Amino acid sequence: MKRKTVYIIVAVVAALVLLTFGAGWYMLDYALKPDYNRRDTAVVYKQIAYEYPWTRPWIDSLKHARALRDTFITTPAGEHHHALFVRNPRSMGRTAIVVHGYTDCSIRMLPIASIYERMGYNILVPDLHAHGLSDGDDIQMGWKDRNDIIRWIYVARRMFRDADRSPRIVLHGVSMGAATVMNVSGEKLPDGVCCFVEDCGFTSAWDEFSHQLGEQFGLPDFPVLYAASILCKLRYGWTFGEASSLKQLGKRHTPMLYIHGTSDDYVPSAMVLPLFNMNPAYENKADKTLRYNDIWLTPGCAHAKSYHDYPYEYERKVKKFVAKHIGRL
């Protein structure tokens, strides 16, 4: 009788473990599988023409002049990663690298990239791993993407080399792209990276998945999120907890502009304050003192809609912040 009870308990525990890891596998597959229609660029151009009609003449003029161009790099893993770029004859060594969000692509970042083109910057807009025209079968939530963006920084330095001036680079990311540039900020970077703009980035992959698990499925973190994170480590080499923009920001004081919509319920607006508080200041190189970073909470904006809803104010805020760290012509 006792042996039978033990068998039943073992069987129940085994079933629960299998069920938990089955649910974790489903979550991992659901969250990190890319959009397999992502290479349909014509659809994306139509979307941004509808959502940001004021950018259409600019994009059309770039295409007509063949100034909006493609470039590819080969990663250490042998994958081909894509980016759009525009050379600006007024750049004087200044470049903006603009990074898109979850299941998005480089084309969707052209409206924000247009701000920098008007400022006289070269622009480089990469497709992250498993997005747009870049290879890859798994979304990396901005974590392993940080290494890819660092590679793009080196590419930008070579591509836009100015014999008379040192490179000056700003990184601007939206949503998962914002998490990516925050993750980049915690790494040792090549000379010339001057400042960052993060727009509605999340504190960590764990926090974002925890939020979505509750919002979409009404489930707590335990046990599914824990199982999915373990499986992510086994399958892709990283965990949800280590993919932390919050921890990366804590590594160094970095000039950063924080932007977040107050009505964002996809990446909750409450996430921006811990991020800002982790990196509220930067070291002024002239006198070695700490200066406060900037934060802008956009009233009533949903996720990644700050530029759409406040285009003039957004451009003004970005120009003012970036000019402070890169300089004006």
Same domain, 51 and 110: yes
- The pLDDT of residue 283 is 81
Handedness of CA 239, 242, 245, 248 (dihedral sign): negative
- Would you give the distance in Å from CA 218 to the centre of its chain? 26
Whether residue 87 sits in one domain with residue 18: no
Sign of the CA dihedral 230, 218, 32, 131? negative
Token digits of residue 245: 């923009």
Same structural domain, 174 and 301: yes
Are residues 74 and 217 part of one domain? no
| 155 plus 11 within the same structural domain | no
Is residue 5 domain-shared with residue 48, that is, in the same domain? no
Cβ-count burial of 278 within 10 angstroms (0-12 exposed, 13-18 middle, 19+ buried)? middle
- CA distances from residue 203 to 18, 117, 141, 302 in whole angstroms, order as listed: 30, 29, 11, 17
User: Are residues 117 and 1 part of one domain?
Assistant: no
Boundary-marking domain end, from 189, 218, 238? 238
CATH number of the domain that residue 46 is part of: 3.40.50.1820
CA-based nearest residue to 85, from 73, 74, 77: 73
From 238, 262, 289, give the residue that closes a domain.
Answer: 238
Residue 5 pLDDT: 73
Same structural domain, 120 and 216:
no
Q: Which residues of the chain have pLDDT under 70?
A: 1, 6-7, 10-13, 15, 328-329
Q: Mind listing the pLDDT tens digit for each residue in 189-199? A: 999 999 999 99
pTM: 0.95
On whether both 127 and 194 belong to a single domain, the answer is yes
Question: Are 119 and 229 contained in the same domain?
Answer: no
Domain extent, residue 309, equals 37-204+243-326
Same domain for 46 and 21? no
**pLDDT attached to residue 6:** 65
Tell me: do 148 and 250 sit in the same domain: yes
Of the three residues 195, 219, 238, the one that is the final residue of a domain is 238
Question: In the prediction, which pLDDT does 13 show?
Answer: 64
The structural domain count of the chain equals 2
Specify the pLDDT at position 39: 85
